[in-house]
C-alpha cells in the first residue's frame, strides 16, 4: 500500500542565532519570519525532540553559524538538529559538523533571481558548489521556493535539473507567500496549475527521492486547493496539511503516517 506522511512539527523548536536581525532584508521575507523563532539566548528545548537552528544572514548570505556554539551544544544533547546555514564556507561547516544532523539548503536556479531577491553577487554555480561542499560533511536536503521572484517562476526547472544531476536525497518544495512589509507584499503566489505541474515534474525527474511539500506556503483557500494536488502528484510528506488533503489520502486508500518534527528530520522507523 502506498504511504504518505503528514507532519505537524510541534516537537521541533525553531531557534534564531541572530534574533530578529537579518542584513539581507530579502524581497520576499525582510526578516519577517525570524519573529516566529526563539532567540538562541532564550532557547529552552525541554520536552522537544529536535531543534531548527537558523537565523538571519550577513551581507554575503551566510548565517553566523559559529556564533553561540556553546548554547547550540547544550541544545544538541539528546536532540537532533536541523540547520539553515546559507552560503557558509568549509571552515564554518567543519566547526559546526559535530552538532549537525541535517542541513536545509535553500536553492535558487536563476542568477537574476538571486540578485533581485537576495541582493547577492552570487550565481547558481556558487549555490551548487556550496551544496556539494556541505554534502561532504553532512546530510543536506535542498529547499526550493516556487515563485520566489515575486510569484513568478524563474529558474525552478533549471534547479530541478541540477538536483537531478547532483543526485539529491530528498527535496522540500516551498511556495512563495506574499508577506506584508516586504517588497513583494502586493505580488500573488504562483498559479496552482504551475505548482502542480512542477510537483509532477519533480516526481518524474526524482523517482527514487523523497519529495516534501514544506511548511512555507500560502494558507487559506490556496492551501486547501494545493494540498490535494500534492497528494495526487505523489509527494511523500506534507507539512501542516489541509484537511482536504487528509480526506483525499483516506479516499485513495493511502497508508497515512503522522510525524511531529521538521520534515527533513530522519529517524529510524
Residue 186 above 90 pLDDT? yes
Q: Which whole number is the average pLDDT over 185-190?
A: 98
Give the pLDDT of residue 203. Answer: 96
pLDDT band per the 50, 70, 90 thresholds, residue 166 = confident
What fold, for 3-259? TIM Barrel (3.20.20)
Give the pLDDT of residue 167. Answer: 86
- The span from the first CA to the last CA of the chain, in angstroms, equals 17
What rounded mean pLDDT belongs to the chain?
96
Count how many Cα atoms sit within 13 Å of the Cα of residue 8 in the half-sphere of its side chain: 6
pLDDT above 90 coverage of the chain, percent:
96
Give the pLDDT of residue 195. Answer: 98
Q: Give the number of other Cβ atoms within 10 Å of residue 11's Cβ.
A: 17
Give the pLDDT of residue 269. Answer: 59
Show Cβ contacts of residue 166 under 8 Å, excluding neighbours closer than 6 positions. Answer: 128, 131, 132
Q: Which whole number is the average pLDDT over 109-130?
A: 95
Give the pLDDT of residue 54. Answer: 97
Give the pLDDT of residue 57. Answer: 96
pLDDT above 70 coverage of the chain, percent:
99
Query: Mind listing the pLDDT tens digit for each residue in 243-264?
Result: 999 999 999 999 999 999 999 9
Give the pLDDT of residue 9. Answer: 97
Give the pLDDT of residue 212. Answer: 98
Count how many Cα atoms sit within 13 Å of the Cα of residue 224 in the half-sphere of its side chain: 2
Cell of 225: 486547493
Q: Tell me which residue of 203, 187, 188 sits closest to 235, measured CA to CA.
A: 203
Percent helix, strand, coil in the chain, to 5, is 35, 20, 45
Amino acid at each position: 500500500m502506498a504511504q504518505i506522511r503528514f507532519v505537524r512539527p510541534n516537537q521541533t523548536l525553531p531557534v534564531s542565532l541572530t534574533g530578529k536581525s537579518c542584513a539581507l532584508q530579502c524581497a520576499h521575507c525582510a526578516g519577517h519570519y525570524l519573529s516566529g523563532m526563539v532567540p538562541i539566548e532564550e532557547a529552552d528545548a525541554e520536552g522537544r525532540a529536535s531543534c531548527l537552528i537558523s537565523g538571519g544572514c550577513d551581507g554575503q548570505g551566510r548565517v553566523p553559524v559559529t556564533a553561540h556554539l556553546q548554547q547550540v551544544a547544550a541544545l544538541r544533547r539528546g536532540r537532533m538538529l536541523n540547520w539553515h546555514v546559507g552560503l557558509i564556507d568549509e571552515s564554518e561547516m567543519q566547526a559546526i559538523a559535530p552538532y549537525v544532523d541535517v542541513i536545509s539548503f535553500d536553492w535558487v536556479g536563476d542568477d537574476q533571481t538571486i540578485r533581485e531577491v537576495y541582493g547577492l553577487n552570487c550565481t547558481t554555480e556558487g549555490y551548487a558548489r556550496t551544496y556539494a561542499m556541505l554534502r561532504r560533511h553532512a546530510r543536506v536536503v535542498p529547499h526550493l521556493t516556487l515563485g520566489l521572484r515575486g510569484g513568478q517562476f524563474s529558474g525552478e526547472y533549471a534547479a530541478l535539473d541540477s538536483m537531478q544531476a547532483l543526485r539529491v536525497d530528498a527535496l522540500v518544495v516551498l511556495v512563495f507567500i506574499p508577506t506584508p512589509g516586504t517588497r513583494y507584499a502586493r505580488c500573488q503566489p504562483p498559479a496552482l496549475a504551475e505548482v502542480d505541474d512542477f510537483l509532477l515534474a519533480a516526481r518524474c525527474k526524482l523517482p527514487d527521492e523523497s519529495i516534501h511539500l514544506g511548511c512555507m506556503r500560502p494558507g487559506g483557500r490556496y492551501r486547501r486547493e494545493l494540498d490535494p494536488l500534492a497528494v495526487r502528484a505523489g509527494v511523500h510528506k506534507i507539512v501542516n496539511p489541509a484537511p482536504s488533503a487528509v480526506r483525499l489520502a483516506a479516499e485513495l486508500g493511502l497508508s497515512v503516517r503522522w510525524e511531529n518534527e521538521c520534515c527533513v528530520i530522519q529517524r529510524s522507523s
